[in-house]
Amino acid sequence: MKTALSIALVTETYPPELNGVALTVERALHHLLERGHRVGLVRPRQAADRVGMPPATSQRWPERLNRLLAHRRCTQCARWVSRLGDGESWIVLLVALVVLQGPLGAHCALHLVAVGAAGLMLYLGPAHETGKIVR
């Protein structure tokens, strides 16, 4: 029979936090304990460690977010925001910056155009080489 080892698991995250690292470390800890090893866990203090505090994360937040976004006004707002990416909206935004803010607005508008052009070139370069240009 093999000798039991004393193992220290050092981690930044551990349940009740819900993420891949936390769950993997928890599985590793249980696996080592089942094999008869002595395992110590070193981790930062979590909000759930305090008496009477709920866990910092909840599995129900996506459901709550979906319910919130199901309201008609949220859907209309999302549609409106998605239209900001249309060309006409950007032209209106750039003109409004120049008219309302003067030289500072012109500088910001020029910066937006430069960053947009750089992003477009970064997108079109690889897309053109692979033949996957989205029109």
- Is 77 among the domain residues? no
> Based on the domain organization, do 52 and 90 belong to the same domain?
no
> Terminus-to-terminus CA distance in the chain, angstroms?
66
For the chain, what is the domain count? 2
Q: How many CA atoms lie within 13 A of 99 on its CB side?
A: 6
Is 18 contained in some domain? yes
Asked if residue 64 is part of any domain, the answer here is: no
Residue 14 sits in the same domain as residue 51: yes
CA dist., res. 72 & res. 126, Å (int): 39
One digit per residue, the tens of pLDDT, for the chain of length 135 reads: 578 888 988 888 888 887 888 889 999 999 999 999 998 888 877 666 655 545 544 556 666 666 666 677 767 776 766 666 666 777 887 888 889 888 888 888 888 888 888 887 887 776 666 665 555
Q: Report whether 127 contacts 135 (CB < 8 A).
A: no
Place of tokens 């803010």: 101
| pLDDT reported for residue 56 | 47
72 assigned to some structural domain: no
**pTM for the predicted model, two decimal places:** 0.35
- Rounded to an integer, what distance in angstroms lies between the CA atom of residue 45 and that of residue 58? 18
CA distance 37 to 33: 5
Q: Is residue 68 part of a domain?
A: no
- For residue 123, the model assigns a pLDDT of 74
Q: What is the pLDDT of residue 18?
A: 79
11: in domain: yes
Owning domain of residue 36:
6-57
Q: Is residue 63 part of a domain?
A: no
| Residue 73 is assigned to a structural domain of this protein | no
Q: Record the tokens describing residue 11, joined without a space.
A: 């981690």
